[in-house]
A and B are shown apart, each in its own frame.
Chain A
Amino acid sequence: MSDSTSTQSVGSRPVTVERAVPVTYDLGNLAVFDTNMMDPEIMSSADEAKREEYLWSLARDSAQMLVNHVLALPVVTGGRTGGDVKHNDGVFVKLPDPTTQLPREKPVPVPKPLTKWEKFAKQKGITPKARNSGNQVYDEAKGEWVKKWGYKGKNQEEPWLVEVDENTENGGGEKSRKSGSGNKSKRAKRSSK
């Protein structure tokens, strides 16, 4: 055991811990694996207090090493930073993926077998129609949403020739209708009968 810390007094343990065999970490699971030999004398001694203190010191060193490594991870502070962060405050560290592989609970999901139609469609290259796409398309030239078809639709061509209304052209927006025409004159006729 090259652990020099256990000889020091409890209150002033250092923040750096050294081990003869370097320990391995699994920061995704917040675990540290220390393969150094334990002191067989203390472990087999009948003095329980001494043993407990030894275990305590081992755990403290492990905890210190882990905390040092966790604090060295990239930090994300506050805010809705995405991921599984649901809080608004606090300091977060980004944990790496776990390195210790643990057995799954259930088998790896297998994709559902294709139906007869899906198989056929795949063979023919038939893709499902885009649903809920609606009748509106963004027209980049106009800079607004327009209909795909129908009145003022995108597939409607602009008339290349338009007849000019002579009256509006000359009178500048004057009403082209004669005052005596239409319903009014018909009504007058009827009332005179």
Chain B
Amino acid sequence: MMRIVKPKNARSKRAMENRASKVIENTKKALTVRGSTCGILVQNAMADIAAYKQPDVKKFQKKNEIHPFEDVSSLEFFSQKNDASLIIFGSTSKKRPNTLTWLRTFNYQVLDMFELKILNYKTMSDFKTLAINIGMKPMFSFVGPIFDSHPHYQMVKSMFLDFFRGEQISMLDLAGLQYIISVTASGDGNISVYSGDTSNLPPINFRVYKIKTYKSTTQSKVPRVELEEIGPRFDFQLGRVREADPDMQKQAMRIPKELQPKAKKNVETDLLGDKVATIHVGKQDLMKLQTRKMKGLKKRRKDEFEEQGNDEFEDVIVSDEEQPKKKKRQIK
């Protein structure tokens, strides 16, 4: 761990505040790290993936003697040093050729990671280049029941969403809908979950398409959507997986109090789907109730005087009682 330093000037103080934990977090930053052996294919693959993470990505150029499934300490160090919580580690070995290790950190500690072996790869430059503005939010499509049922594939889905979604926004410019990341996996959810061997799991197809919209032939207002593949094109095979520690996962999934939806009081929906509200009315003062006006019920002037007179009389009594007490105190 690095030592905690007190900021010496306003700029570094601001930078440290930006790094501190927040209710609404910054966009997650990513790193691409090369292993000690990392072929051109893996390098290109990492560059292509990083292109869709711009501008929140840093590409490391040097080789690193790291084996993430044996020791993650140096990757955790990179994570802390660069304030990046997403890491892609590329390596090639005889046993595990062309492998990308996707890794996610929580509080600069590894949360979960998995290996994706590249079975089939077509670079972005192999496609007809269609420029996409950087920082655009992608649309996602996950097709296949396995993404809902198999924990490893759930992790892959979560990781891809986390990695590519970019900045969280509440207003979307419709011109910003430019491309879709389509992730598909065949096979049903009935594959044994913890056999340990992941080689029999169905491959994951990763495709990126540019969206083109045309006026629909029918009368409807919605446009017709056509796609053109812009790459990269990957077929991944799931390799080793390290699942998140349950405690850490729980910590990471906590929603701050400020963001939790407030319980709506007094508004319910009944069985028929109607909105029912409970209205709380304050207690009514019946003494002030205006009843029928009659001469006999009217307050007469004499009564008022008497009431006032009584009040005064009471006051006098009280003051009489108090006065001797005061005198006594003074005497003492």
Seen from chain A, the residues whose Cβ lies within 8 Å of a Cβ on chain B are 10, 12-15, 28-40, 43-44, 55-56, 58-60, 62-64, 66-68, 70-71, 76, 81, 83-85, 87, 90-95, 98, 100-109
B171 touches A95 (CB 8 A): yes
7 closest Cβ pairs, A-B complex: A62-B141, A103-B252, A31-B140, A59-B182, A106-B21, A43-B186, A105-B85
Asked if B224 is at the interface of the complex by the 8 Å CB criterion, the answer is yes
- B65, chain A: closest CB distance, angstroms: 27
Select one of A66, A106, A109 contacting B106, CB under 8 A. A106
A66 touches B144 (CB 8 A): no
Max count, chain A CB within 10 A of own CB: residue among B105, B182, B221 = B182
Asked if B168 is at the interface of the complex by the 8 Å CB criterion, the answer is yes
A32 touches B140 (CB 8 A): yes
Asked if B74 is at the interface of the complex by the 8 Å CB criterion, the answer is no
Select one of A32, A44, A56 contacting B209, CB under 8 A. A56
- C-alpha spacing A78/B53, complex, angstroms: 28
B222 touches A67 (CB 8 A): yes
- C-alpha spacing A181/B218, complex, angstroms: 103
- C-alpha spacing A149/B158, complex, angstroms: 64
Given the known inter-chain contacts A31-B140, A55-B182, A66-B139, please indicate yes or no for A105 contacting B173, CB distance below 8 A: no
Max count, chain B CB within 10 A of own CB: residue among A40, A44, A71, A106 = A106
A15 touches B254 (CB 8 A): no
B172 contact set on A, CB distance < 8 A: 30, 70, 92-95
Q: Can you report 30 A-B residue pairs in the complex whose CB atoms are below 8 A from each other?
A: A13-B226, A15-B218, A28-B168, A30-B139, A30-B140, A31-B141, A31-B142, A32-B141, A33-B148, A37-B188, A39-B186, A40-B187, A44-B186, A55-B184, A58-B141, A62-B180, A67-B223, A71-B174, A87-B173, A90-B173, A93-B174, A100-B161, A103-B106, A104-B25, A105-B25, A105-B26, A106-B21, A106-B106, A108-B255, A109-B23
B253 contact set on A, CB distance < 8 A: 101, 103-104
B216 touches A90 (CB 8 A): no
A107 touches B21 (CB 8 A): yes
- A161, chain B: closest CB distance, angstroms: 32
B147 touches A33 (CB 8 A): yes
12 additional contacts (CB under 8 A) given A59-B207, A104-B254: A12-B217, A30-B138, A30-B177, A56-B209, A63-B211, A67-B213, A67-B225, A76-B171, A92-B172, A103-B106, A107-B252, A108-B251
Asked if B165 is at the interface of the complex by the 8 Å CB criterion, the answer is yes
- C-alpha spacing A101/B224, complex, angstroms: 31
A90 touches B227 (CB 8 A): no
B104 contact set on A, CB distance < 8 A: 103
- A101, chain B: closest CB distance, angstroms: 6
- C-alpha spacing A91/B187, complex, angstroms: 40
B220 touches A15 (CB 8 A): yes
- C-alpha spacing A184/B283, complex, angstroms: 81
A109 contact set on B, CB distance < 8 A: 20-23, 256
- C-alpha spacing A42/B29, complex, angstroms: 37
B171 touches A59 (CB 8 A): no
A58 touches B222 (CB 8 A): no
Within 8 A of A (CB), among B283-330: none
- B236-261: CB near A (< 8 Å → 1, else 0) gives 00000000100001011111100000
